[in-house]
Structure 1
Amino acid sequence: MVCESNSTQAAARQLGINPKLLDRGQQAQVVAEVGSEELALDPEIRALYAANKWLAQEFDVLKTALVFFGQLTR
């Protein structure tokens, strides 16, 4: 069972939906990203996917900065 954080509860309240519905939606998104429910439940796999997503965003920011400063051409 997933423990609800205050932010999840607040977001669900703001959207006018049950917090458990929001949790199921988040879980479904993780399953879609990793490809199986078994992997989605593994905390290490979830942490690796989160780290990968963060690094990809950082990479995009750095590419944008390089373009902005004229050191990289598209």
Structure 2
Amino acid sequence: MTDTPPDRLSVDPKSPFHDAAALARGVGVRFKGVEKTNVEEYCVSEGWVRLSVGKTVDRHGKPLTMKLQGSVEPYFRDTAQPPAA
């Protein structure tokens, strides 16, 4: 695995942009220079994030989100672990 997070990532397992390995490693996101902990999905190349809005959920149980435009800087919270032999 590389030291750069994917260009687009989603926490929803049904999304085609879901990457369980990257999420297990821990991905942090800085949006406009501020650390965000409620990011549901992001795209670096298009410059947007989807943030969950409180504890409100839709009728399918997914959190309600709000899409914001700006600079997105994802990073891994820990370093890559070498494969165990």
**TM-score scaled by length of structure 1:** 0.26
- Name whichever structure is richer in helix by fraction: 1
Which structure would you say has the larger RCO, counting Cα contacts within 8 Å and 6 or more residues apart?
2
- Name whichever structure is richer in strand by fraction: 2
Bigger Rg, which one: 1
